[in-house]
Structure 1
Amino acid sequence: MDISRMDSPFLQSTLLCEGVTTDKEGRHTFHNEFSQYTMGYSTEFCVVNVWRGNGTGAAAKYTEKVEIVAPDGKIVAAGEVGPFSLQDESYRQVNSITLDGVDFTHAGPYEVKINLDKDGQTVYSLEYPLLVS
């Protein structure tokens, strides 16, 4: 499912990495970005999402939810961050959700699901594959 409303912020980028650090100026360093995972190897990792504002309302509060779904439909990890707001197009929000102890026991295409909610309503939804071999 892919839902995005014109009045919602937009997802500028998503990446999976082993960690993220932020320096005193607010610059982010991403450590060991990856696009596939090895079955049976489990360490904590981060899902990093960069959101951009759309200029339709600084008062809106958003909550981001991330799920990792196994090929059999089981949710093997989930995380949430928020609330946060984006005043206009010049604002960005970098969210990092750390997932620990993710159970990659089956090879195959897992799904990374990203949802952005505003006032309990999903205004942005995206799914993409994560290959586990």
Structure 2
Amino acid sequence: MSPHTIPDDELHVTYILASGPGGQNVNKVATAAQLRFDARNSPTLPQRIKQKLVEIAGSRMTGDGVIVLTARRFRSQIRNREDAVARLHDMIAQASTVQAYRVPTRPSRGQRKRRMENKQHRSRIKQGRSSRYTD
């Protein structure tokens, strides 16, 4: 099992009436998928990813650590379920990326010298534009 694969028994999907435009279909058919994933108690995810998911999920996570995603873009339950699962996988993939360690570096002597020469050159150009030399 890859690190981003969540077993289906950890995902709880319910179908609700979607809001917005769609006419009779929206009023009669429960096509919007609401996915719930208990991230805090998931045995699949490592602790580091769980902590990062709390930041990424934001208001989509309840106080109990359950991520709630509602998908209502499509007219069918199956496509909305797939959309919600894909969004969850994207969140987990984002949480599992490790920030690259940046080694702080300093400019070399040559870079500092070129920067100062460029500043002096620009300064001379701008001094040449001033009106103090004109009568």
Instruction: Give the shorter-chain TM-score range.
Output: 0.3 to 0.5
Task: Report which of the two has the higher share of strand.
Answer: 1
**Using CA pairs below 8 Å that are at least 6 residues apart, which structure has the higher relative contact order?**
1
TM-score normalised to the size of structure 1?
0.33
Rg bigger for which structure? Answer: 2
TM-score of the aligned structures, taking structure 2 as reference length: 0.32
